[in-house]
Every structure is written in C-alpha cells, then in structure tokens.
Chain A
Amino acid sequence: MTETCCFLSLDELAAQVPDGASLALPKDSAGAPMAAVRALVRRGAKDLHLINVPTSGLATDILIGAGAARLVETSGVSLGEFGGAPRFNAAVKAGAVTIRDATCPAIYAGLQAAEKGLPFMPLRGVIGSDVLAFRDDWKVIDNPFAEAAVDPLLLLPAIRPEVALFHARRADRLGNVWIGVQGELAIMAHAAERTLVTVEEVVEDDLMAREESAAGTLPAVYVSAVAEAPKGAWPLGFLDLYPADEAQLADYARLARSAEGFAAYLERGCAPAVGR
C-alpha cells in the first residue's frame, strides 16, 4: 500500500486547517475532536465555516466562543444534559456568526451527494418548514418520476467540506483508522477534500489485513493526517473508553454563560499543558 497519510503532533494537525476553511465536525457523542479543537483555539484559527455532522455541542461552542468561526451550518447545537450551548446562542443573537439552520438528514444527504460526486441529492420531508424557507441554496422540484400529478421534492446541494476533523479509537501505522459503527465519520471523510483524525492510540497491526477489522475501518486513502491524542475527546466521554468529565462540563456550562467566564475557562482549559 502506498503511504498517503502522515503522522503529526496535535498543533501540527491544527495548522493543517487554514483560516476560512469549511470544517466538518461530528456530533459530540461520535468522535468530537476536543483536543484538536483546543489546538485550533491555541493557534488562533479564524473565519471557519463550521459544518456540524449533523449536530454539535461543546466543540462548536468553544470554536464560536473563541471567535474562530464566521458561519455555522447545523441541525442543532446543545450541551445535552448540561443545557443550551451558551456561546453559540449568544453569537447567534448578536449576529456574530451567520447561522445556516438545517435538519440532520439534509446534512447527511449533502455529504452523500459529495461522496458520489453528484451536484445534489433529493430528500423527502422538510417542505413547508421555515428551515426550507430560510435556505436560498435549497430547491424544490417536481419529481420527474412521479406517479402522482405533482410530487414536490427537495434537492440539497452537495456539501464538500475542505476539511473533516474527528477523533477515533485507533489508527495503524499506515493511517487506516478504525471507526467501528460510527458510519457518519466515513461519510464525512468521503465527502471532504482532506480528513484529519486524532486517535486514542496508534497500533502496529494493519487494520486492513483482516476482514473483521477492515469492515469498521476508514482506509488511509481518505486520511490526510493523523495525530495521536490519548483522551482526545475529553472532557466529553468517548465510546466505552471513558465517561464524560461531568464536573468539567458543568463548569463549562456555568462559566460560558458570560464572555468573561468563557475567557477564564479558555485560560485554564486551553493552556498548552492540557489535552495534548
């Protein structure tokens, strides 16, 4: 196999996300790359166009709070049991970020169009909602294959992120990444121009060598770079490896209610010694 992947430090990985890039991030429960998000904040990333696949929480809230994002395309941003996403909510109200509200399957459908090299993907539902009313880039056509006289059908333009960034359980030395049943990570990676991955561990076995492991593996052909980041989803939990750091998340939810509190959190939470 040709080696297409390279191994980087977290800060080198964060440097691979240019200012202004469209950046796809998975939901908080399926590989949110929190250590890499902190590295993006440390390097002062700005003007990012965040694409939540299909929702987000802490990762998006921190990037917005740190002034790293100009636009967020999402189906929902929330801290789950810890309440609303305070910096997201404040930035939307203040007009500090442009919001592009979507619905979960529409984001998947846009990425799936990109996966297939298609300009758009149709999707059922959504017609008559204000989600559609406020999306100038979505179109409704009459289904050309319809049996009924009229059958309005939503079309979504392909979503081709410049960068997809997520955290996964493991990679091998060739850059193959184990994603298990988190299939949306494969959709993201297939659709994106480049995919950057942080992993809990790098293993010596070739993940593609056996069918049992290959079935849950994102092949290195889709992976531009990997950084090893043990506990890279902290303070979120990650699969069955570690639970959420509830004290830390409660602390964040409380502090981030104000811009000052958020700044204080960043001082502590994004300090170079943390999460590397």
Chain B
Amino acid sequence: MPLDCRPEELLIAAIARLLRGCRNIAVGVSSPIPGSAALLARAESETPLRVELLESLDGNSFTRGSVELFDRAAQGRIDAFFLGGGQIDGQANINLVGTGDYPRTAVRWPGSFGSAYLYFLVPRVILFREEHSRRVLVPKVDFVSAPGVSAPEVYRRGGPCALITGKALFRFDRDRRRFRLESLHPGHDLADVLETTGFDFDHDAAPAATAGPDAATLEMIRGPVAREIAKAYPKFAARVFPRA
C-alpha cells in the first residue's frame, strides 16, 4: 500500500536514489527539492557524504566564495550537481537563456549560470524540472546554454545522467544520445507523458511506477531534512513541511 505523500516528497525520495554512491554533492541556487534530496541522500548514506548548498550561508564549506565550486568540479571533487532549463531537448541540451532569436529573445530567462561548464565536469548531472510540458521538453532548444553531448575530442568527464519532472523519471544514454523513460510517477500514465513530451524517447510498453518514500524515509524527509533545508529555503519549507 503506497504511503500518502506529497508530490515534492516523492521527487525528493526519487532524486535521493539517483545520488546513491556519491561522496560530494553540490546544489546550486533556487533548488529546494534537489537540496532536500541531497540532504536525504546524506542522511541515508552508509559512507561519508558531503553536501554543499550554495544558497545557504552555513550550508557549504567554501572559504573563497563560489569560485571554489568551479575549481572543485574541475578537479573531480564534485560527483553530482543539478541543472534545470526553460527548455530541455531530447539530446539533453539545456536552455536557460530564452526563446526565439538570440539576443533579442521573445522570452528572456536569467542566463546560463555555471551550466556551460559544470555539465562537462560533474560526472552525474541530474536535470530537474517540475513542469512537464511540450513548452519545456522540446524537440530542439532555441539556445544551447550547455550541450548534452560533445564531440569525442572535447574534454568531458561529466554530463547528464537523468531527467526528472513532475510526471516521470528518464535516464539519459550518452552513447545513444537519447532519453529512456525509467518510471512514471504515481497518477501519471504513458499516454499523457507521450502527449506532453516534445521529443522522442525510448520506453517499455508498460513502464514501472516511480517508488515513493517508505515510512522511515518519509520520517527522515519530514524531520531532519525539512529542518535543515528550511535554513536555506524557509518559504519552501513552510509550504511543503508545515509541521516540521
């Protein structure tokens, strides 16, 4: 019998599973759900796991400012990071800049941040975007903030490993340059995901369901994880964990 949990809690549990085996996870700004997942992965890890929350004053160990994140990534000291995108396409290219013709884009988003660099250097990049629609998941992005794959001569030790949305979890196959649907979140079906995804992807005829948190994990999320993430994201915590 599946536990009654919020959609955010399902995402946190699912992302935390993708982080298993990591030793160092960094979480960028405006990322409360990935941040919570990283804290959950740390709480459940049997080996030491370090989490650097960029948004939080005392949640990271950088003593030279955020420049240190990029240096650590280049040295192989960061195992996992999260990126999003206003648009994401089937080759895992991401667009954080805008839609339409650059530079006078019809819609302008903030900008590429560290994506054009971290996507190449962090082994396990998880793409996270709650909105699952043809507006976001497009056949081809209008602007490549960071490419999903590179030519063989380009130095690249990292890249996309998964895409998780409000409806489904995909794995990215770097050799085939395609996403494969791994599981559907409870309450969503394949027909709907096919209808709302703008790019082609591989899938089973009857995809698995994304597993929710078990009772112990849910208790962990609503307890220590909720209290810790509230320091960096008080508004998020108040909304999602009202009783924490």
Nearest-Cβ distance from residue A174 to partner chain B, whole angstroms: 24
1/0 contact string of A59-98 vs chain B (CB within 8 Å): 0000000000000001111101100110011001111001
Q: Is the CB of A93 within 8 A of B117?
A: no
User: Which of the four size classes fits the interface of chain B?
Assistant: 35 or more
Q: Is the CB of B153 within 8 A of A125?
A: no
CA distance A148 to B153 in the complex (A): 8
Q: Which residues of A are found within 8 Å of B29, using beta-carbon distances?
A: 29, 80
Q: Is the CB of B108 within 8 A of A124?
A: no
Query: Which of B55, B98, B116, B150 counts the most A-chain CB atoms under 10 A from its CB?
Result: B116
Which of the residues B55, B62, B97, B156 comes within 8 Å of A101, measured between beta carbons? B97
Q: Is the CB of A55 within 8 A of B150?
A: no
Q: Is the CB of A152 within 8 A of B154?
A: yes
Known: A76-B112, A134-B102, A240-B57. A128 touches B150 (CB 8 A): yes
Which of the residues A99, A124, A129, A183 comes within 8 Å of B63, measured between beta carbons? A183
Q: Is the CB of B66 within 8 A of A104?
A: yes
Q: Which residues of A are found within 8 Å of B98, using beta-carbon distances?
A: 92
CA distance A239 to B57 in the complex (A): 7
CA distance A123 to B154 in the complex (A): 12
Instruction: Check: B121 CB closer than 8 A to any chain A CB.
Output: yes
Q: Which residues of A are found within 8 Å of B111, using beta-carbon distances?
A: 55, 74-78, 101-102
Q: Which residues of A are found within 8 Å of B106, using beta-carbon distances?
A: 93
Q: Which residues of A are found within 8 Å of B112, using beta-carbon distances?
A: 75-76, 101-103, 129, 131
Nearest-Cβ distance from residue A253 to partner chain B, whole angstroms: 14
Q: Is the CB of B147 within 8 A of A93?
A: no
Instruction: Check: B37 CB closer than 8 A to any chain A CB.
Output: no
Q: Is the CB of A93 within 8 A of B116?
A: no
Closest to A76 in B: B111
Which of the residues A88, A125, A148 comes within 8 Å of B120, measured between beta carbons? A125
Q: Is the CB of A183 within 8 A of B65?
A: yes
Closest to A240 in B: B57
Q: Is the CB of A124 within 8 A of B120?
A: yes
Q: Is the CB of A108 within 8 A of B117?
A: no
Q: Is the CB of A181 within 8 A of B65?
A: yes
Instruction: Check: B143 CB closer than 8 A to any chain A CB.
Output: yes
Instruction: Check: B161 CB closer than 8 A to any chain A CB.
Output: no
Complex A-B: 19 CB contacts under 8 Å: A30-B65, A75-B114, A76-B113, A80-B30, A92-B98, A101-B103, A103-B114, A104-B70, A105-B117, A124-B117, A125-B120, A125-B156, A127-B120, A128-B151, A128-B154, A182-B65, A183-B64, A184-B65, A239-B57
What 11 new A-B contacts, CB under 8 Å, besides A77-B110, A150-B153, A240-B57?
Answer: A55-B111, A76-B96, A84-B108, A84-B109, A92-B98, A94-B104, A98-B103, A104-B114, A106-B117, A124-B117, A187-B65
8 closest pairs, A vs B, by CB? A183-B64, A76-B111, A184-B65, A125-B120, A78-B110, A183-B65, A105-B70, A103-B116
